[in-house]
Amino acid sequence: MSREKTAKIGFIINPIAGLGGKVGLKGTDGLAGQALAKGAIPQSEERARACLQCLLPEAADIQFLTAGGSMGENALASCGLTYEIIYFPPQPSRSADTIAACRELGRRMVDLILFCGGDGTARDVASVSSGIPLLGIPAGVKMHSGVFAVSPQAAADLAIKYVRDEIKLRQTEIVDVDEELYRAGELATRLYATALTPYQPALVQERKRIYLSLDEEEFKDQIALFASEFMRDGSAYILGAGTTTARIAEKLDLDKTLLGVDVVKDGHLIQRDASERDLLALLDREASTKIIISPIGAQGFILGRGSQQISPAVLRRVGVENLIIICTPHKLAEIPHLLVDTGDADLDALLAGRRLVITGYRIAQRKNTAAASLF
């Protein structure tokens, strides 16, 4: 890239990305209609606008090429940015329209494709964008690929630095999970492609890692034993997704959903695979509620990825003082920061700072928690 020429950025939004998160569907592929019927509210355009707002100071040096309507045009227009429409999708748009739009962006030889969505969108973009650098604005339910910035604001920062020639590209992996298995509680990821992406440590998320060792399992057992003791206080405990929280339920002889959000009280499973709406209804009934969550391996996200059912509305009602973080020592040591990206900037700022993390039986460490939007 050269600062002496106008940068050509292809800009694409998947309008339905992330719809399945808060309603507990663990994905949106093939389920957009069901998600909307459950009360899901589209969020990808709002996430895209948050990125575009940060790009406004550089607008004179960027030529945006986009798809019509909700696939990019609306967001660019609402931010007052100039653009050229290179593809007119039907309404509603589909995966095939993302592919067709990106194929046209390739013909126009754009310098960067900036897209908003999740791993499914990344797959579609990468399938026809060989050699063109990709950068994802995170808006999906699950984001395991290495092309995603940690937040919409970080995506803008990376794009600006790339067009200024201040950072380089790295090759990373595009992966996705089998959503049918995912909804059944099994995490099976598959490598679909590799891609080049603008890279700067802390601004780009790492691929999710799964840690398997005897030490890890022993520490999970210790954490579960400790949790089974302090959870006897009569509170309702919202358990986020993951193997570490699942070990708590196992210790209590409860059938928790591995990749869902469940609620336990007095040793009983009182809500299985809860949606945001289920959790808000629970809070109307319960006098005391707490949340137990664990960070995603390598990425460090404790909120905003995978368990969107624990939404800003839920968090504010429970209270950040009732948020309990658990993590094995090895996993915690490989995470520079715990990250939050709830979509509520004020709440993210409230969650930022040094927070206690339970790492064993009556053992805890302090770790810095940061709002992803600040990177």
Q: What CATH number is associated with residue 114?
A: 3.40.50.10330
8 A C-beta contact, residue 363 and residue 222: yes
Q: Indicate whether 351 and 317 sit together in one domain.
A: yes
Tokens 């309702």 belong to: 236
Q: Indicate whether 56 and 139 sit together in one domain.
A: yes
Q: Indicate whether 19 and 126 sit together in one domain.
A: yes
**Bridge-based pairing state of the strands 62-67 and 83-87:** parallel
Q: Indicate whether 267 and 182 sit together in one domain.
A: no
- Could you give phi then psi for residue 219, rounded to 5 degrees? -70, -35
Q: What pLDDT score was predicted for residue 2?
A: 47
Give the end of a domain, one of 149, 164, 198: 198
Q: What mean pLDDT comes out for the span 169-181? A: 80
Give the end of a domain, one of 164, 198, 232: 198
Q: What pLDDT score was predicted for residue 225?
A: 96
What total number of domains does the chain contain? 2
For residue 208, tell me if it sits in a domain: no
8 A C-beta contact, residue 65 and residue 108: yes
Q: What residue numbers bound the domain in which 307 lies?
A: 214-374
Q: Indicate whether 226 and 370 sit together in one domain.
A: yes
Res 41 pLDDT > 50: yes
For residue 299, tell me if it sits in a domain: yes
Res 1 pLDDT > 70: no
Q: Indicate whether 191 and 287 sit together in one domain.
A: no
Q: Cα–Cα distance between 31 and 273 in angstroms, integer?
A: 17
Give the end of a domain, one of 148, 170, 198: 198
Q: What mean pLDDT comes out for the span 17-42? A: 61
Q: What is the pTM of this model?
A: 0.82
Q: Quick: pLDDT tens for 244-286.
A: 999 999 999 999 988 889 999 999 999 999 999 999 999 999 9
- The pair of structure tokens assigned to 357 is 């993390």
92: preceding bond cis by omega (within 30 degrees): yes
Q: Indicate whether 117 and 18 sit together in one domain.
A: yes
Buried b (16+ CB within 10 A) or exposed e, 262-299: bbbbeeebebebbbbbbbeebbeebeebbbbbbbbbbb
Please enumerate in sequence order all residues whose Cβ is within 8 A of that of 53, keeping only pairs 6 or more positions apart, or say none: 79, 156
Q: Indicate whether 247 and 316 sit together in one domain.
A: yes
DSSP codes, 100-129: HHHHHHHHTT-SEEEEEE-HHHHHHHHHT-
The helix (run of H) or strand (run of E) holding residue 268 is strand 268-271
Q: Quick: pLDDT tens for 71-115.
A: 999 999 999 999 999 999 998 899 999 999 999 999 999 999 999
Q: Indicate whether 56 and 107 sit together in one domain.
A: yes
CA angle 272, 276, 281 (to 5 degrees): 80
Q: What pLDDT score was predicted for residue 49?
A: 97
Q: Indicate whether 221 and 287 sit together in one domain.
A: yes
Res 297 pLDDT > 50: yes
For residue 305, tell me if it sits in a domain: yes
**Closest by CA position to 23, among listed 299, 275, 295:** 275
Q: Indicate whether 192 and 218 sit together in one domain.
A: no
8 A C-beta contact, residue 115 and residue 127: no
Mean pLDDT of the chain: 89
Q: Indicate whether 158 and 261 sit together in one domain.
A: no
Beta bridge partners of 85: 66
